[in-house]
Amino acid sequence: MDRFDAMTVFVRVVEAGSLSAAARVGPQSLTSVSRHIAALEERLGTQLLRRTTRHLALTDEGRLFYERAKAILGEMEELEGALSAGRDEPSGRLRVAAPGLIGRYRIAPLLPRFLARYPSVDVDLVLVDRTVDLVEENIHLAVRLGRQPDSSLVARKLAEVHMLTCAAPVYLKRRGTPKSPGDLRDHDCLTFSDTAGAIEWRFRSSSTQVSVRVTGRIWANSLYAVVAAAIEGGGIVRVPSWQVAHEIAAGRLRTLLDAYRPPPTPVYAVFDHARRSSPKVRTFVDYLVDQWAGSDLETVTSR
Numbered ranges of CATH 3.40.190.290 in the chain: 163-260
Taking only the tens place, the pLDDT of each residue in 166-182 is: 999 999 999 999 999 99
Burial-class residue 29 by CB neighbours within 10 Å (0-12, 13-18, 19+): exposed
Numbered ranges of CATH 1.10.10.10 in the chain: 3-67
Which of 5-9, 123-127, 145-149 is predicted with the least confidence, judged by mean pLDDT? 145-149
CA atoms within 13 A on the CB side of 232: 9
Taking only the tens place, the pLDDT of each residue in 236-282 is: 999 888 788 889 999 999 999 999 998 888 899 998 876 777 889 99
Among the four given CATH numbers 3.40.50.300, 1.10.760.10, 3.40.50.10300, 1.10.10.10, the one describing domain 3-67: 1.10.10.10
Do 77 and 123 form a contact (C-beta atoms < 8 A)? no
Taking only the tens place, the pLDDT of each residue in 171-221 is: 999 999 999 999 999 999 999 876 777 788 989 877 788 889 998 889 888
Q: Please name the residue ranges forming H helices in 232-272.
A: 241-249
- CATH class of this structure's domain 163-260: alpha beta
> Domain 88-161+265-296: what homologous superfamily?
Periplasmic binding protein-like II (3.40.190.10)
pLDDT bucket at 15, cuts 50 / 70 / 90:
confident
Residue 234: closest CA among 247, 221, 243, 225? 225
Q: Is the dihedral of CA 292, 245, 104, 130 positive or negative?
A: positive
pLDDT, position 80: 61
The pLDDT of 32-47, averaged and rounded, is 84
Q: How far apart are CA 170 and CA 96, in angstroms?
A: 38
pLDDT, position 303: 29
pLDDT bucket at 146, cuts 50 / 70 / 90:
confident
Numbered ranges of CATH 3.40.190.10 in the chain: 88-161+265-296
Q: How far apart are CA 292 and CA 160, in angstroms?
A: 10
pLDDT, position 149: 65
Residue 199, SS3?
strand
The pLDDT of 68-90, averaged and rounded, is 67
Q: What is the pTM of this model?
A: 0.58
